[in-house]
Amino acid sequence: MKIRAVEFVKSAVKPAQYPEYDFFEIAFAGRSNVGKSSLINTLINRKGMVKTSSRPGCTQLINFFLVNGDVPRGDAPREDTRQSALSLVDLPGYGYAKVSKKIRAQWQPMVETYVGTRNNLLGLVLLMDIRREPGKEELDMVRWLESNQMPCLLVLTKADKLSKTKQLKHLDAVCKTFNRDRNGIVLFSAKTRQGRQTIWDEIHNLIDWYQEED
Ligand SMILES: Nc1nc2c(ncn2[C@@H]2O[C@H](COP(=O)(O)OP(=O)(O)O)[C@@H](O)[C@H]2O)c(=O)[nH]1
Ligand SMILES: [Mg+2]
């Protein structure tokens, strides 16, 4: 995808606050500090668009970004840019130990409500640190998304931290855990940009598939 423009649209915690547009949307989820903001920045070729942090667990908001589109404002007639615009959503991270119980209890309903109500959502990208075994959160989430027929791309982040041999070894282990083949899981690094094109290809496949469904 040629990135012409990227705009931060807004943050939201509940459906009434989501942007009212119906551009195709892709959401990114994962444990705090997994590299979610870095991955989105890499996809859109913007270094600081999505705030990255070495202090995990701070963002508990759903952040909407619009690529190559105009956010409809007021009652001005909306040009139909649905074919080319794409909405990217940075979901709050989960599973950070220092985050209070209260915040953790808010996370699940916030994300489940978002996935359950957002009609323009095409699919999720679920990020996992390549050095970590997938946890119960990830297994539960993938199972839940599958039961809701919501497509989910799995991405192993920070691949640059491991040698190529170790990357593949870990990839195969994760494939087994999720019962997917190597094509169903992407090795990614924000540092080397490894896997960036594959993620875009998968997003475009999803868009094509939806357009054929219509
Ligand atoms: N080596 C390496 N570090 C990364 C990569 N992606 C993110 N990081 C680092 O991991 C930390 C958390 O990244 P961030 O994108 O803020 O994670 P988020 O909490 O999931 O949004 C930061 O210190 C990043 O610099 C990567 O691909 N390789
Ligand atoms: Mg982040």
pLDDT tens track for 2-38: 899 999 999 999 999 999 999 999 999 999 899 999 9
Residue 208 has pLDDT above 80, yes or no: yes
For residue 31, which atom of ligand 1 is closest to its CA?
20
Sheet holding 62-67, edge to edge: 6-12, 62-67, 86-90, 25-30, 121-129, 152-157, 185-187
Sequence-distant (6+) residues with CB within 8 A of 70 are 78, 79, 81, 85
Please state the rounded mean pLDDT for residues 154-175: 97
195 within a domain of the structure (yes/no): yes
- Domain with 48 in it: 6-10+22-67+85-204
Inside any domain, residue 16? no
Question: pLDDT grade, residue 109 (50/70/90)?
Answer: confident
Q: For ligand 1, is residue 157 a contact (CB within 6 Å)?
A: yes
Any ligand 1 atom below 6 A from CB of 189:
yes
Residue 92 domain-assigned (yes or no): yes
Contact 175, 186 (CB under 8 A): no
Q: Is residue 111 part of a domain?
A: yes
To test the pocket of ligand 1, the residue of 33, 61, 131, 189 to mutate (highest count of ligand atoms within 8 Å of its CB) is 33
Quote the number of domains for the chain: 1
Q: Which ligand number lies closest to the CA of residue 56?
A: 1
- Atom from ligand 1 closest to the CA of residue 38: 15
Q: pLDDT by residue (tens digit) across 113-145?
A: 999 999 999 999 999 999 999 998 899 999 999
Q: The tokens 């942090």 sit on which residue? A: 53
- Is there an atom of ligand 1 within 6 Å of 121 CB? no
Residue 170 in domain: yes
CA of 54 to the centre of ligand 1 (A): 8
Bridge partners of 72, per DSSP, are: none
**33 Cα nearest atom in ligand 1:** 19
Tell whether the model's pLDDT for residue 194 goes beyond 90.
Answer: yes
> In degrees rounded to 5, what are phi and psi of residue 93?
-75, 160
What pLDDT is recorded for position 170?
Answer: 97
> How confident is the model at residue 100, as a pLDDT?
64
Other CB atoms within a 10 A radius of the CB of residue 148 amount to 11
Instruction: Kindly state whether residue 131 falls inside one of the protein's structural domains.
Output: yes
- Look at residue 50 in the predicted model and tell me its pLDDT: 78
Give residues with Cβ within 8 angstroms of 144, minimum separation 6: 112
Among 12-16, 106-110, 174-178, name the one with the lowest average pLDDT: 106-110
* 76 within some domain: no
CATH of the domain at 26: 3.40.50.300
Q: Is the CB of 93 under 6 A from ligand 1?
A: yes
Instruction: Measure 211 CA to ligand 2 centroid, in angstroms.
Output: 30
pTM assigned to the model: 0.91
Percent of the chain with pLDDT over 70: 86
Tell me the C-alpha to C-alpha distance, in Å, between residue 124 and each of 54, 71, 100, 204: 24, 22, 26, 13
Q: Is 173 exposed, middle or buried (0-12, 13-18, 19+ CB in 10 A)?
A: exposed
Chain Cα centroid distance, residue 200: 12
Whether 209 is in a domain gets the answer: no
